[in-house]
Amino acid sequence: MTVYAVPGSDGSAMTYAERYDHWIGGEWVPPASGEYFENPSPVTGQTFTEVARGTAADIERALDAAHAAAPAWGRTSVAARSVILNKIADRIEQNLEAIAVAETWDNGKPVRECLAADIPLVVDHLRYFAGVVRAQEGGISQIDDDTVAYHFHEPLGVVGQIIPWNFPILMAIWKLAPALAAGNCVVLKPAEQTPASIMFLVGLIGDLLPPGVVNIVNGFGVEAGKPLASNPRIRKIAFTGETTTGRLIMQYASQNLIPVTLELGGKSPNVFFEDVASARDDFYDKALEGFTMFALNSGEVCTCPSRALIQSSIYDAFLGDAVERTKAIVQGNPLDTATMIGAQASNDQLEKILSYIDIGKQEGARLVTGGERADLGGELAGGYYVTPTIFEGDNSMRIFQEEIFGPVLAVTRFDGVDDALKIANDTLYGLGAGVWSRNIHTAYRMGRGIQAGRVWTNNYHAYPAHAAFGGYKSSGIGRENHKMMLDHYQQTKNLLVSYSTSKLGFF
């Protein structure tokens, strides 16, 4: 096992700059206001860099750069764009450790996840869209003997993207890779909780893109995000976040008549059928890990399996084993590769999680394990740590209905497929779900019956580029990942061509 040195210290894999300006038109640009905001690491609570505090003037400057670049970038051959995306992927792969450490320091997540999941997925998503855009074809429809409809894909132009703080770099690439592959230019605003790692990344890869194709403006939502989302100079807005801001962004989009992609979270059920426990084998072990996935990324995942539904006949024994697995989670220094759960991303996130643990207790849910802030002592004493927490209760309780975005699991029981489906679908959201069964009929019926965009079946928290991701119900609009994502960033141009020399005869 390895403990990575703190960024900037002797032997560290990377060093953050003392200050980050915006990235506009292929260069670092100071904020128009001259103001910067401090960025603390959730690992220690201590500020490690300061970041440009963007305003409407910076957004307009970024849009100027994007619009200047868009015509040429949109005409670039798909082969040329593909090469650039592959070069970015290669550069990231060559610097994987440094980027992983940067991400951990900005976000608080365990570096083992950055090394094994976040950053390798970033590389793979770039390569996927570099490849799949070259396989994309338009269409030809033979309307009649002399008339042909040609369908071309064209880029939208300049698009806006607002990125969440839970996977700062991966979520940025989820949005950037298809947008760039499809020939768009982007103005992107990172989350103000995690503004630094993506600036470190752009410092590594910025030279690979023509100036103005990607522009990054940091700042607060109300000061920089709103002028971007409401701007009439973007042809689309993509947002990952929560429902109120999602609705607000749709309101702005309706005023500008532009499309939106919204990913707004979930309250994902993870359903364990009795046959899971018919043997104490590798599959049983896998299912226990699947249960414990609620702690991945400190629970800060839109698809966190934050409700576990266990069939009554195995409830006590399975929960007992699952609690043991949960108690074995190693909490500690996120820069230690042995650490399984790190820090929550911000102080207010920590406070919110604790407020949910409080209402869970008030509603009569039974606290099985965890349920408190963890003080890891030493330099980590100021960080934002919560012990993995399991409650037993009823699906009507607020801890079963609201996305806590922390390592807090709400467990209940069910009897049979119909009951499982009823509880699983009794939620406002429909982003992810998990089904665990050795019976293909049960698994299929549940998978089709759950109202969610993705149902992991006998696995959980896998995010391959070639699988569509997105929400039913209040979890959002549109999809991310998969070839179909290209459509979200493209116009359809139809040329309707007559090869007939005869008039119609109307006039």
Active site residues: 263, 302
Cα 126 from Cα 487, distance rounded (Å): 17
Dist CA 212 CA 184 (whole Å): 11
Burial class (CB within 10 angstroms; exposed 0-12, middle 13-18, buried 19+) of 80: exposed
In whole angstroms, how close is the CB of 72 to another protein at the nearest point? 33
Considering beta carbons, is residue 97 or 242 the nearer one to another protein? 242
- Total residue count of the chain as it appears in this document: 507
3 state DSSP class of 98: helix
Nearer to another protein by Cβ, of 165 and 272: the residue is 165
| Nearest to another protein of 26, 430 (CB atom) | 430
Orientation angle between helical segments 78-94 and 197-205, nearest 10 degrees: 120
Q: Is residue 70 within 8 Å of residue 183, measured between CB atoms?
A: no
Chain centroid to Cα 424, Å, comes to 22
Q: Are 445 and 424 in contact (CB under 8 A)?
A: no
**Least separation, in Å, of the C-beta of 265 and another protein?**
3
Nearer to another protein, 4 or 165 (CB): 165
Read off the tokens for 96. 């994987």
State the DSSP H helix or E strand holding residue 479, giving kind and residue range, or none if neither.
strand 479-480
Output the six-digit token pair for 187: 């103005």
Binding site residues, another protein, CB under 8 A: 37, 53, 164-166, 191-193, 220-223, 225-226, 229, 240-248, 251, 263-266, 300, 302, 346-349, 351-352, 355-356, 358-359, 362-363, 396, 398, 401-405, 428-429, 474-475
- In the complex, minimum distance from the CB of residue 230 to another protein, in angstroms, rounded to a whole number: 9
Pick 401 or 458: Cβ nearer another protein: 401
Closer residue to another protein (CB): 84 or 188? 188
140 three-class SS: strand
Instruction: Taking the CA atoms of 389, 395, 397 and 403 in sequence, report the sign of the dihedral they define.
Output: positive
The residue behind tokens 């963890």 is: 374
- The SS3 of residue 132 is helix
**Min CB(312)–another protein separation in Å:** 24
Q: Work out how close the CB of 332 gets to another protein at its nearest, in angstroms, rounded to a whole number.
A: 24
Q: 366-369 and 237-240 as β-strands: parallel, antiparallel, unpaired?
A: unpaired
Q: State the SS3 of 151-179.
A: EEEEECCEEEEECCCCCHHHHHHHHHHHH
